[in-house]
Each structure stands twice: as C-alpha cells, then as structure tokens.
Amino acid sequence: MQAKDLLLTRSSMPRVVSPGPSAEQLRLLEQAALRVPDHMSLTPYTCLVYQGAALQQLSEIYTAVSKLEDLTPAEQERAGQLPLRAPCVIVIATQYQVKEKVPSLEQYASAACATMAMQQMAFTLGLGAVWRTGVYAESNHMKAALGISSDNDIVGFLYVGTPAVPTPIKPSKDIQLFTQM
Ligand SMILES: Cc1cc2nc3c(=O)[nH]c(=O)nc-3n(C[C@H](O)[C@H](O)[C@H](O)COP(=O)(O)O)c2cc1C
C-alpha cells in the first residue's frame, strides 16, 4: 500500500476475529509505535500485549474492575466479554517522565501517536484494528490490575485481528479545515 493511500483511506475495523497478528506482524506494529514523534526521544509509553491465555486473564480483570467500579449489573455481566472481542488486545499506557522541556501533555501526545501508528500499520498489513477506551481506560482499578501506576494514563485498548466485515467506508468530511492566513 502506498503511504498516501494509507493516509487517505485508513479506517478502523470494529469487528475482528482470529487469527490475530503473527509474531512478525506484531513486531511491525511495535516498530511503528517506536517511530512516532517523540520530544527528547523519551518513549514515554508502554504496550501490554494480550493474546491467548493472557487474554483470558484480561477478561477476568475486566470483570473484577466492573465490580470495583460498581458498574450496572448488565455492564458487569458483559465486562468479561469485552476484551474477548479480538484475538489480540494491546493496552497502551503512558510512562510519564519528569522533564522540564517535555510536559506530560506532549508525552501523552506521543503515546497517542504510537496508538495511531499501530492502527495504521495493522490497516497496512490487511489486519483490522480499532482503538477503544471507555470507563475501563479511566479506571484506577484497571491501572492497578495491569501494573500501571495511577499517575499514568491508559491511552487505549487497541483491538487487533482479522477483519470480520468489509472495511466500513466513511464519507469524507466536507469540512474546510485549513484557514488561509
Ligand atoms: C482516543 C479515542 C478513543 C476511542 N474510544 C472508542 C471506544 O471506546 N469505543 C469505540 O467504539 N470507538 C472508540 N474510538 C473510535 C474508534 O477508534 C474509531 O476511530 C471510530 O470507530 C471511527 O473509525 P475510523 O477510525 O475509521 O474513523 C476512539 C477513538 C479515539 C481516538
């Protein structure tokens, strides 16, 4: 795929199934995440990859967190199924460093770029991926369960797998974004 085509046609894939990414494909996602703009090259983020048995553990964490967050009975019932919607879930979390020249906001921006880069790489490889957040990304209970300190942020859960449906074609945004000055 041409880089221009990627940038002009990239789409998320809301429904993915097995097989998940191969080891080589995961390595490409990792490399893409390491290639993003990064002020002072801090790499202020980490990625936790859940597949197979680990994904089952993540499912149990979701269930436990849904209870700790006192979500509705219906949400608690559904919680464990959420991460099982993909054969591979990558949790992207910040690893903020105290740097006078690089405020946390910039470091979060790099982590978000890394998430986007992985989503783009998945698309390029013919995989499907979608960036999800929600209450679980905000939860300190979730952070604790994943070993992420409460002063860091979960940037997202990237669901990766084989596309289960044709790529949704979004209409182009009819917006004049640029203001000529
Ligand atoms: C920070 C962030 C968080 C998101 N969280 C969710 C989410 O929790 N659930 C969801 O269905 N989509 C979420 N999305 C949207 C999808 O990732 C995706 O962008 C959307 O379905 C539109 O598809 P597109 O990427 O092809 O434009 C989020 C997007 C961003 C940037």
Instruction: Indicate if the pLDDT at residue 30 is higher than 90.
Output: yes
Instruction: Indicate if the pLDDT at residue 86 is higher than 90.
Output: yes
pLDDT score, position 140: 98
| pLDDT tier for residue 1 given thresholds of 50, 70 and 90 | confident
Instruction: Indicate if the pLDDT at residue 123 is higher than 90.
Output: yes
Instruction: Indicate if the pLDDT at residue 168 is higher than 90.
Output: no
Domains of the chain, by residue range, sit at 3-163
The listed CATH number (3.40.109.10, 3.30.300.30, 3.40.50.920, 3.20.20.70) that belongs to domain 3-163: 3.40.109.10
Q: Which of 120, 132, 155 to mutate to test the pocket of ligand 1 (most atoms within 8 A of CB)?
A: 132
Single pTM value for the model: 0.97
Whole-number average pLDDT of the chain: 97
Alpha-carbon distance of 31 to 118, in angstroms, equals 9
> How far is ligand 1, taken at its centre, from the CA of residue 158, in Å?
10
Query: Which residues surround ligand 1 with Cβ inside 6 Å?
Result: 11-12, 14, 130-134, 156, 170
- Give the H/E segment covering residue 163: strand 154-163
Given a contact cutoff of 8 angstroms between Cβ atoms, the answer to whether 78 and 145 are in contact is no
